[in-house]
Structure formats: C-alpha cells, structure tokens
Amino acid sequence: MYKHDHISVKTDIDYRQSLVRQLYNRMLNTRLDEITKEADPPFIFAYSGYGSDVGDLDTYTAFANVPEGKIEHALDVLLTENERALRHGFNASELERQKTAMKENIMRQAKEQDKIDSRRLITRYIYHYLDGNPIPSIDQQLAYYEKFLPTITVEEIDALAKDWITPENRVVVVTAPEKDDVVLPTEEDLLGLIDGIANKEIAPYEDKVITAPLFDKELSAVSIKQTASYDEVGVKEFELENGVKIVLKPTTFKNDEIMMTASSEGGTSLYEDEDYMNATNASRIVAQSGLGDFSDSDLEKLLTGKTVGVFPYIGSYYEGVSGSCSPKDLETMLQLTYMYFTDVRKDEEAFNSYISKQANTYKNLMSNPAYYFMDHSMKLRTNNHPRVGFPTAESLESIDYDRALEIYKERFADASGFTFIFVGNFEEETLKEMCQKYLGNLPSSGVEETYMNRQIDYVEGEINDLINMGAAPKTQVELFFHGPFEWTPENAYHFNSMLDVLRIKMRESMREDKGGVYGVRVSGNASRIPEERYSITVSFNCDPGNTEDLIATAMKDVEHATKNGASEKDLTKVKETQRQSMIKSLEENTYWRSKLENVYENGVSPSTISLEHLEKSIQGLDSDDIKNAASQYFGSGNFIRMVMEPAEVENN
C-alpha cells in the first residue's frame, strides 16, 4: 500500500482524471485476473489500483489472497505486474477494450435511470454530505464519458504508475492463519523482495487480440408444436419441435434487462457417490474453460461492450443454465447458451487452476468455528451422508477431469426435457424467432429423465449436540426440526406464514424483551423434491451464560404457537408485510424468474402466482392456520439441538 494525498473530484478536469485512473485500474486488474487462471496460480485473487478508502488519504494498493506457503512467490508476481505497468505501460488494444466496457456500463445506467433503486441514491447523497463528493446525474456522467474517453491516451495512463508506486509512504501487511506449520517471511525478506523487483528483467505485456466471430454456424428456425397462455399473469408458453419448452413473461420493470433460466430433471442424483465430486464440479469447470475455440480470457475480450452472461449448472436434482443480458445482446445470450450445450471446451490449464484455487479456499476452512459448525450441522442432520458438507482439498484433488467433462456432456446432450423461462424487456416475436433458431436446434432424443432419491434423509428422534471450539466469548445455537410434508401451494403458504409469525415472536421475546441476542434467524424449507418434507431452523448467537435461558424462550414461543396460533396483532402484521412484499415483488424481474421456475418445477399452474390468487391466500389466512401448521410441523418428534461454546468453557 502506497499512501498519497487525497485527490478531490470537483471540476470537469478532475472528473476526466478520475476516468484516467479507472482505466489504469481496470487494465492492470484484467492482467492480474488472467494470472489467476493459470494452472498453478500464485494467488487466488489479486487487486491493484488507486482509490480513496483510508480516511482522508488516497492509496495505491497491491493486494493478493494467497495459498498457504506462497506468500513470497505471490508478492513477487504481484509486484512484477505492477513493475511491468510502470516500465512498459499498456497496449492501445487494452485501452480500447476498457473504454468500450466503461462506455457500455454508463450507457446501461442511463437506460435504467428512471428505475434506479432509492438506496443507491441515498448512498450518493450521504457521501456528498460527508465528503463533498459531487453527484452529477447519469446523463451528465454519460456526457462526460462521451467527451473525455476518446481523448484519453495510453501515454498519459502510462505516466501514472511512477507517481503512485514510490518508496515513500509505503506500508506492507501480511496476515496468515495462526498455525504452527505456517512460516511467515521476515521483514528483511519482504523488503529485500520488494527492492529486488527493480532489478528484474521484465518483458512488456503481450495482448492477444481476438478477431474471430463468436458464432459462425448457420442454423434454421424450427417450427412450434403447441402453445398456451396464462393471461392472469401475462405468461405465454410454447413447445419447439425438439421438445424444448419456452416460457415468456415480458415486463418493463427494467429497461435494459432480460433474465433467463432453464432446467431439466436429473442433476448429480443420477450418479453414484464415487462420481459425486466429478458431477457437482463439472459445470463450474466447464464455465471457466471457455467455449469453442476461445479460452475464458479470450471470451471475456470477445464480449467486451456487451452486457451478457450465461452460466451452466448441475445441481442435486436439476441441471440447467441461467443468464441475463441487455435487449441488444439477446442473440449473443442465446448463442452462448447453444454453445454450452454443443461446443464446450477442454482446457487442462483452466481445470488445474480451478482445482488449485478451490483446494486452497477449503484447505483451512474447518479452522474457522463458524464454518466448522455449519459443516458439523449438515453432517449431523444427515448421519454423515457422503454428499453433504463442505468439500476438502483432498476430495477436490481427486476429481477426474475427463470424467467430469463426460458427465457434463451427458447432462446437456438432450434438451428435450428443458424448460426455458425468459423474463424482462423483450419484443415477443423477436425472442420467439431467436428461440426457434438457437434453442430449437439443441440436440434432443425425446428420452424423458427424472431425478433419483439418494436418501439424504434427516436423522429421526431427538439429538442434543455440544461442540467446544473457538476463542470468541459467544455461543452459537441451532435448533432444527423436520418431518414429512404434504406439498400443496396452500400447505406451503401456511407453513411459511407460520414462520413469519414466529419471527415476530422470537424477535420480541429474545432480542427486545431479554436483550439476549442481536438477532434471531427463523428459516424453513418445504420441498417436493426428491420427496415431500420440511425443515425448520432457529439459530442465534448469544453470551455463553444466557444459552439455556434463550433456548427455553425460543421453545416457549414454539409451544405458544402450537397452542394458540397467532394473536390478532401479529396476524395483521404478517398479512400487511406479506401484502407489501407481494406488491413490491410483483414488479421485479428476479421475483418472476424465481417464481416461474418454482411453478414449472413443481408442476403447478402459473395462475397460482397471480395477484388475485396471492391476495385471496392472504385474506383467508387466520390464527387456526398458524396453530395447525405449528402443531404439525413442531410435533413430529424430530428435533436436533446443536450448541457450540468457546473452547475455554470446556476447559473451565
């Protein structure tokens, strides 16, 4: 970290200079990101750039998240890249890409300025009040970008590093796990390494410019087999020749956003336990390996200036893709989707990079009490099922790349069971034609698949579990209830409403009345897949001396709900909160994407998420519904009490 006097942004020229600094930061960090994709990267993440994050000072920061045992190597690589920028600067091609990306970003903001979230405005106003930061409108900023970006040269950006990277006002900080086998470099080692960078031979950065088109296949539109409409929710669906189902929900909630999600039954459940790590990591490996002839870095360069992203996934019971784009980039999103089905790429370097970063991420995870408790909880609930819990460095390093790639191709070899859902600001006929062209030509065999139940069952009966770990003077508590569930939209609504009532009661009794917790979390899940069942978790942190009293208070609130349901006051509060949340959510693309995905996966009509249907459910909710739900779901006899106390409590 190099400390500098603060640079204020008060004038047009100041604003232009802030754009120059942004361009420098973006170009250098793109280079650092490329290094993280190497087979054995020196760091998991790295950042370098100029900013104003330390009081009234500006800083030029070079930061890296480093694998164990690689501190000096990572620092050497990080400082070498900074020195490369200092000596040789940047390429014109790098600069043009970042100008394009910045222009795309501000133009997108301009398109959405009439729908900006008030929280973002408040943040800008706060900093204006505290620091005197100017708050130009989006249109003003766009005008500045259009005026200044074309005038910024590589030469003036190259000149910045010599003012930022200096031997004066330099601070070096190294943090590491407190472990006996972790050897840290001395101050002398670090200073010697830093001073030695100036004497290294460092070649200029070579920028690979991509000119080939992303997609060059000639595809013809296929016909539509059947259609359906659900006017009460503004949803249309149709099926293509290859069996792919398309669901359309056009909206104007955002001016520059189209969201996509697609799924098909199967997922990792179709593979044996010995293949689980291959299956569950396959899509993430593919997503970091590029597409067709393009590496992941090539793809990023190729997509500069576009607002688009597509991400494949293989979950426990489904596989699919999710994506989003600007309306102008709709065709690119569908081209990428087509390629994730038909033209994935094998990249050994990308695979090795993925395994290295993941293994280092999880290597010391269990030394963190919070993560240890989460892992222990998941395993205790399921009697140590092999598919449950965080991965280990050893399990990640056992992944067979060829087998993982084979599994990925199997899951995406047949699109006939996929349902694609599109929500956002699109022209229906245009989207329909593109779906006929790209999604209609996805491979299909017409073979129907479904998931398998791998019997990841919760243990029955009552369990009382105590862990002693950590030095912080706090206790972590988790109360877990579970049992069978009869899944219907009505039962699911009553289940969730009962949890809403409990959240109110426990917040009042445990936080406001007793002052024993900062917050209490009441969460639950009522699922249909792979079998109909529910689970409820009540969790909180507290002082070790208050543990038993607060657990008793929580259980008393549960008992009250099973015997009395909800008071009129609490029921009114829950209904009003649900109603306000519903009104807000019905104007959000993310809500419709999630709800439509849920509807189609659960095999119910889209009409069940209409305003009229939801309002009818809210109006009909009464105290007996809460009482009956609480009695049923807290009366199964299946209860796990998990408590983690500090290690010193055990010693005392």
Q: Residue 652 pLDDT > 60, yes or no?
A: no
Judge if 264 and 177 occupy the same domain.
no
Whether 284 has a pLDDT exceeding 90, the answer reads yes
Q: Are residues 431 and 487 in the same domain?
A: no
Residue 590 to residue 233: CA distance in whole angstroms: 15
Burial 195-209 (b: 16+ CB within 10 A, else e): eebeeeeeeebebee
- From 611, 232, 220, select the one nearest 433 (Cα to Cα): 220
Counting every residue written for the chain, the total comes to 652
Helices (H), 112-246: 118-131, 138-148, 154-158, 160-164, 187-196
> Is 414 strand, coil or helix?
coil
Do 483 and 412 share a domain, yes or no?
no
With contact defined as beta carbons under 8 Å apart, do 607 and 232 qualify?
A: yes
The predicted model gives 588-612 an average pLDDT of 95
Q: Residue 73's domain is classified under what CATH number?
A: 3.30.830.10
CA pair distance 172, 594, nearest whole angstrom: 45
Give the three-state DSSP class for 37. Answer: coil
> Based on the domain organization, do 472 and 568 belong to the same domain?
yes
- The DSSP 8-state label assigned to residue 199 in this structure reads G
* Partners of 250 in beta bridges: 424
Q: Is the pLDDT confidence value at 126 over 80?
A: yes
Strands 45-54 and 57-65 come out as antiparallel
Output the average pLDDT for the chain: 95
- The least confident of 56-65, 415-424, 509-518 is 509-518
The DSSP result for 603-623, as a single string, is T--GGGGSHHHHHHHHHH--H
Task: Indicate whether 504 and 429 sit together in one domain.
Answer: no
Which of 409, 441, 473 finishes a domain? 441
Output the six-digit token pair for 88: 């040789």
Location of structure tokens 């599109």: 422
Task: State the pTM of this model.
Answer: 0.94
Q: Could you tell me which residues come within 8 angstroms of residue 18 by beta carbon, excluding any fewer than 6 positions away? A: 9
Distance (Å, whole) CA 130 – CA 575: 39
In the predicted model, what is the mean pLDDT of residues 117-127? 82
Do 252 and 157 lie in a common domain?
A: no
Beta bridge partners of 258: 325, 424
475-484 and 2-5 strand pairing? unpaired
Residue 606 is assigned to a structural domain of this protein: yes
Taking a C-beta distance cutoff of 8 angstroms, is the pair 105, 23 a contact?
no
Overall number of domains in the chain: 3
Q: Is the pLDDT of residue 531 over 90?
A: yes
Distance of CA 303 to the CA centre of its chain: 21
Q: Does position 639 have pLDDT exceeding 80, yes or no?
A: yes
In percent, the amount of the chain with pLDDT more than 90 equals: 87
Whether residues 369 and 492 share a domain: the answer is no
Q: In the structure, what pLDDT confidence band is assigned to residue 541 with cuts at 50, 70 and 90? A: very high
Judgement on whether residues 62 and 168 belong to the same structural domain of the protein: yes
* Of 38, 90, 82, nearest in space to 197 by CA: 82
- pLDDT over 80 at 138, yes or no: yes
Of 260, 358, 360, the residue nearest 311 (C-alpha): 260
Q: Measured at the alpha carbon of residue 234, what is the angle toward residues 256 and 599, in degrees to the nearest 5?
A: 95
Kindly state whether residue 207 falls inside one of the protein's structural domains.
Answer: no
Domain assignment of residue 218, yes or no: no
Beta strand 235-240 with 57-65 is unpaired
Could you identify the residue written with the tokens 């399990």? 395
Whether residue 408 is found in the same domain as residue 511: no
Do 510 and 550 touch, CB atoms closer than 8 A? yes
Among 441, 473, 501, identify where a domain stops.
Answer: 441
CB 355 within 8 A of CB 348: no
The burial of 130, by beta-carbon neighbours within 10 Å (0-12 exposed, 13-18 middle, 19 or more buried), is given as exposed
- 385 lies in a domain? yes
In this predicted model, what pLDDT tens digit does every residue of 465-480 receive, in sequence order? 999 998 889 999 999 9
Which of 629, 331, 612, 386 lies closest to 495 in space, CA to CA? 629
Within 8 A by CB and 6+ apart from 512, the residues are: none
Distance CA 451, CA 601 (A): 12
**Burial of residue 425, with CB atoms counted within 10 A of its CB: 0-12 exposed, 13-18 middle, 19 or more buried:** middle
Q: Is residue 125 part of a domain?
A: yes
Q: Is residue 450 part of a domain?
A: no
Contact between residue 481 and residue 555 where contact means Cβ atoms under 8 Å apart: no
- pLDDT, one tens digit per residue, over 437-496 is 999 999 999 888 999 999 999 999 999 999 999 888 999 999 999 999 999 999 999 999
What's the rounded Cα separation, in Å, for the pair 444 and 243? 7
The Cα–Cα gap between 392 and 494 comes to 39
Q: What is the mean pLDDT of residues 422-436?
A: 98
Q: At what angle do helices 276-287 and 348-363 cross, to 10 degrees?
A: 120
- Are 436 and 467 members of one domain? no
- Spatial distance between the Cα atoms of 652 and 648, rounded to a whole number of angstroms: 6
| 194 is a domain residue | yes
The answer on 274 and 140 residing in a single domain is: no
CB-hemisphere CA count at 13 Å for 130?
8
| Residue 404 forms part of a structural domain | yes
pLDDT band at 620 (very low <50, low <70, confident <90, very high): very high
The secondary structure of residue 185, as a DSSP letter, is P
**Mean pLDDT to the nearest integer, 27-45:** 97
Report the distance separating Cα 91 and Cα 89, nearest Å: 7
Does 406 share its domain with 480? no
Considering only CA atoms, which of 110, 119, 149 is closest in space to residue 20? 149
In this predicted structure, the answer to whether residue 649 has a pLDDT above a threshold of 70 is no
pLDDT, one tens digit per residue, over 242-256 is 999 999 999 999 999
Sign for the CA dihedral angle at 483, 270, 438, 242 comes to: negative
Domain closes at, from 165, 199, 233: 199
Which domain does 125 fall in, by range? 2-199
Q: Other C-beta atoms within 10 Å of 524: how many?
A: 17
CA-CA distance, 466 to 483, in Å (whole number)?
A: 23
Q: What is the mean pLDDT of residues 519-547?
A: 96
- pLDDT exceeding 70 applies to what percent of the chain? 99
